């Protein structure tokens, strides 16, 4: 069966993909890989920026990331639930895009929408591969890997991606969300999205001896086809 995308990133709100996965996305798109982002909501209930501003900001960031495609599932901001409607919406995207890898938030986070997206992703990832589950939502397809990325909460990562070569471009994409920067103090840390992304990337970069890195987790070990990838 044809693979349409190399990576599909599920993001609860516009800007979450940039903050958490912008480096990985840029690494892939700059090498000709196809990356799709599916934002579950428009972030319309946020304290900063109008829906119109956020849409324009998202379009600008999408251009910086050079995404193959970006879609919005139009689910309710602050109202994400692990229900059949949300799971169906994600399954439809998975079966349409047929990515090799799915990246989604951790299933626990200070923001309820973030945690709900993680739960929705797990169900959708599994059920999308069952021929008779949501049979009217497209031909069965399950990505080979489900990667987890942290938002507010952090776990010990399975691996970190060295993003030093694209770190400045990642921050350029995050800066596109000007309405969320400056006055938008984050949960727990008091940092706005730009500050949070930069601080976290530096921290995980220091863990692996580089300027900047992004953390990702999996439920089990990742198989290496050949040890030379570590050399």
According to the model, what pLDDT value does residue 189 have?
Answer: 66
- pLDDT-derived band at 190 (thresholds 50, 70, 90) equals confident
CATH number of the domain where residue 190 is located:
3.40.50.10320
According to the model, what pLDDT value does residue 186 have?
Answer: 62
Confirm whether 164 is domain-assigned.
yes
- Range in 56-60, 88-92, 181-185 the model is least confident about: 181-185
- Of the chain, the percentage scoring pLDDT greater than 90 comes to 81
Q: Please name every residue paired with 99 in a beta bridge, in sequence order, or none if there are none.
A: 5
Q: Measure Cα distances from 69 to 44, 62, 124, 193, 205 in Å.
A: 21, 9, 20, 23, 29
Q: Measure Cα distances from 211 to 19, 162, 166 in Å.
A: 16, 8, 10
Which token pair is 91? 């399954």
According to the model, what pLDDT value does residue 171 have?
Answer: 98
Confirm whether 114 is domain-assigned.
yes
- Domain hosting residue 93, numbered range: 5-220
Confirm whether 230 is domain-assigned.
no
Q: What is the pLDDT of residues 49-71, one digit of tens each?
A: 888 999 999 999 999 999 999 99
| CA dist., res. 29 & res. 205, Å (int) | 21
What is the phi/psi pair of residue 56, to 5°?
-65, -40
Q: Is the pLDDT of residue 21 over 80?
A: yes
Confirm whether 78 is domain-assigned.
yes
Place of tokens 């995404």: 67
Q: Are 118 and 22 in contact (CB under 8 A)?
A: no
Q: What is the DSSP string of 39-76?
A: ES---TTSSSS-HHHHHHHHHHHHHHHT-SEEEE--PP
Confirm whether 73 is domain-assigned.
yes
Confirm whether 136 is domain-assigned.
yes
Q: Is the pLDDT of residue 227 over 90?
A: no
Query: How many domains does the chain divide into?
Result: 1
Which token pair is 194? 């730009």
Confirm whether 52 is domain-assigned.
yes
The pTM of this model reads 0.94
Confirm whether 227 is domain-assigned.
no
């Amino acid at each position: 069966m044809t693979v349409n995308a190399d990576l599909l990133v599920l993001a609860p709100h516009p800007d979450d993909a940039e903050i958490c996965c912008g480096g990985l996305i840029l690494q892939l798109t700059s090498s000709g890989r196809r990356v799709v982002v599916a934002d579950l909501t428009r972030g319309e209930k946020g304290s900063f920026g109008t829906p119109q501003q956020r849409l324009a900001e998202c379009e600008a960031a999408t251009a910086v990331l050079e995404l193959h495609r970006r879609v919005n599932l139009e689910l309710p901001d602050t109202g994400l639930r692990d229900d059949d409607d949300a799971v169906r919406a994600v399954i439809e995207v998975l079966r349409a895009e047929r990515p090799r890898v799915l990246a989604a938030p951790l299933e626990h986070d200070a923001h309820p929408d973030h945690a709900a997206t993680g739960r929705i992703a797990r169900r959708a990832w599994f059920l999308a591969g069952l021929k008779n589950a949501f049979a009217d939502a497209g031909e069965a397809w399950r990505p080979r890997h489900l990667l987890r990325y942290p938002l507010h909460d952090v776990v010990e990562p399975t691996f970190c991606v060295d993003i030093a070569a694209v770190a400045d471009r990642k921050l350029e994409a995050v800066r596109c969300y000007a309405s969320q920067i400056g006055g938008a103090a984050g949960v727990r840390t008091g940092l706005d999205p730009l500050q949070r992304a930069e601080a976290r990337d530096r921290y995980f970069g220091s863990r692996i001896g580089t300027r900047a890195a992004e953390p990702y987790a999996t439920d089990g070990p990742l198989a290496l086809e050949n040890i030379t990838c570590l050399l």
